[in-house]
Amino acid sequence: MNRYETLIEMALEARKLAYAPYSKFKVGAALLAKNTMIYKGCNVENASYPATNCAERTAIFSAVSEGQKEFVAIAIVGGKDGVGELEFCAPCGICRQVMREFCKPDKFEIILAKSTTDYKVYKLEELLPMSFGPENLA
């Protein structure tokens, strides 16, 4: 099993805990930190819709709250609950910007997966070109 497959499996596990009673769209993420730790996250919806947190941010905030701030890759899986096949679930704009805070745009890998064998890998800079980040405020 390559490192992408391990991360995808963990994202699939995380998705099982998604709390998505409103959209029924369940997302799981697994974030690989530089120190080899993996942090999982799922989407957590709210009756006040804007209070919803995406799976990616759940994973990133969990890692940062545990003292990790350097990341290598994130795997993301998502799709409507009860629908057999998953879709490639691209991170929303807010999550891309949160990744930008902690991840190197030319290095950080974003793995969009339907399964452990069907996935696409992008660099953050491909999904968030010409971005604004911490260096702009240094």
Using CB under 6 A, list all residues that contact ligand THU: 20, 23, 25, 27, 43, 45, 52, 54-56, 76, 78, 89, 91-92, 95
Nearer Cβ to ligand THU (89/99)? 89
Question: What is the DSSP code string of 54-92?
Answer: -HHHHHHHHHHHTT---EEEEEEEEEETT-SS-B--PPP
Tell me the closest approach of the beta carbon of residue 28 to ligand THU, in angstroms. Answer: 8
Which is catalytic among the residues 56, 70, 109, 135? 56
User: What are the φ and ψ backbone dihedral angles of 116, each rounded to 5 degrees?
Assistant: -70, -15
Active-site residue, 109 included: no
Nearer Cβ to ligand THU (20/33)? 20
Tokens of 46: 């709210």
Is residue 80 classed exposed, middle or buried when 0-12, 13-18 and 19+ CB atoms within 10 A define those classes?
middle
Nearer Cβ to ligand THU (55/98)? 55
Tell me the closest approach of the beta carbon of residue 5 to ligand THU, in angstroms. Answer: 20
| C-beta separation of 44 from 58 below 8 A | yes
Tell me the closest approach of the beta carbon of residue 61 to ligand THU, in angstroms. Answer: 13
Residue 19 DSSP class: B
Q: Which residues are catalytic?
A: 56
